[in-house]
Amino acid sequence: MADKIRIKNLCKTFVEKSGETKVLDNISLDVKENEFLVLLGPGQCGKTVLLNILAGLDTPTSGTINYIKGNENGKEDIKEMKMGEIGMVFQKYALFPWKTVIENVEMSQKLKGIDKEQRRKSARNYIKLVGLENFEDSYPKQLSGGMKQRVGIARAYASESDILLMDEPFGALDAQTRYQMGEEILKMWRKDKRTVIFVTNNIEEAIYLGDRIILLSGCPATVKAEYIPKLERPRDYMALEFLQLRKEIADNTDLAL
């Protein structure tokens, strides 16, 4: 498969009065088109900083990111991504509390100036896909954590971006809802393929979801290892191969995940 994102020698250092903090150290990584890539790393290692840079919400200290839009006659069309062009599911819901579910989901299309009828139609489609068709006119405060994150996922999909960045989207959910959401996100991805970068600190979640898992070290984050689970989907958490891979990854992590 063709490359969709090419990250080369990415570094990020925050400079503050109290001193410098190096958070990303020479991250190089290629992401394939329509791949479900998982970034697995311990708490505070720099996962959100990396995703924010990929989304154009922050800038790297050095290094480059190329987004490959297409490939014509063997020549790649490399695109500049502007802020807001990539769909992102945030670690902390980040919904507008004064807007309804459907208004939240259609936000990026509204900002692009797409007319109301068209963006409503598209928003309804994604709201249905995440199973919230009866909650279009509800406000975020009326929803459970899992439902709020479904809105976040529908909003990212509705941005029509072919790249979706998901920052520990299920981190705040209870274990049962977390398993269920994992299954659902894979179902959505199969129906409507996009290139997904999914961040987690949970080894099981990484193995359940990922076409490929990139293990990051503790802060500053570096690419420590890569794993490709050779397991049929839906993956069985109790299968021997699943448990073996889980142990292999756990033995290679810097800190308790």
Ligand X SMILES: Nc1ncnc2c1ncn2[C@@H]1O[C@H](COP(=O)(O)OP(=O)(O)OP(=O)(O)O)[C@@H](O)[C@H]1O
- Per CB under 5 A, residues contacting Mg ion are 47-48
| Residue 222 interacting with ligand X (CB under 6 A) | no
For ligand X, the closer CB: 21 or 26 = 21
| Residue 155 interacting with ligand X (CB under 6 A) | no
Instruction: Please spell the DSSP secondary structure of 200-257, one letter per residue.
Output: ES-HHHHHHH-SEEEEE-SSSB-EEEEE----PSSP-TTSHHHHHHHHHHHHH-SS--
For Mg ion, the closer CB: 153 or 165 = 165
Stretch that binds ligand X, among 41-49, 60-68, 128-136, 179-187 (CB under 6 A): 41-49
Alpha-carbon span 185 to 51, nearest angstrom? 19
| Residue 150 interacting with ligand X (CB under 6 A) | no
For Mg ion, the closer CB: 101 or 166 = 166
| Residue 14 interacting with ligand X (CB under 6 A) | yes
| Residue 219 interacting with ligand X (CB under 6 A) | yes
Alpha-carbon span 205 to 201, nearest angstrom? 8
Alpha-carbon span 195 to 237, nearest angstrom? 24
Alpha-carbon span 196 to 96, nearest angstrom? 24
Q: Which member of 5, 7, 37, 45 binds ligand X (CB under 6 A)?
A: 45
Give 38's contacts (C-beta < 8 A, 6+ positions apart).
Answer: 197, 198, 199, 200, 205, 206, 209, 210, 212, 213, 214
Stretch that binds ligand X, among 28-36, 42-50, 111-119, 136-144 (CB under 6 A): 42-50
Q: Which member of 5, 7, 10, 23 binds ligand X (CB under 6 A)?
A: 23
**Footprint of ligand X (CB under 6 A):** 14, 16, 21, 23, 41, 43-49, 91, 168, 201, 219
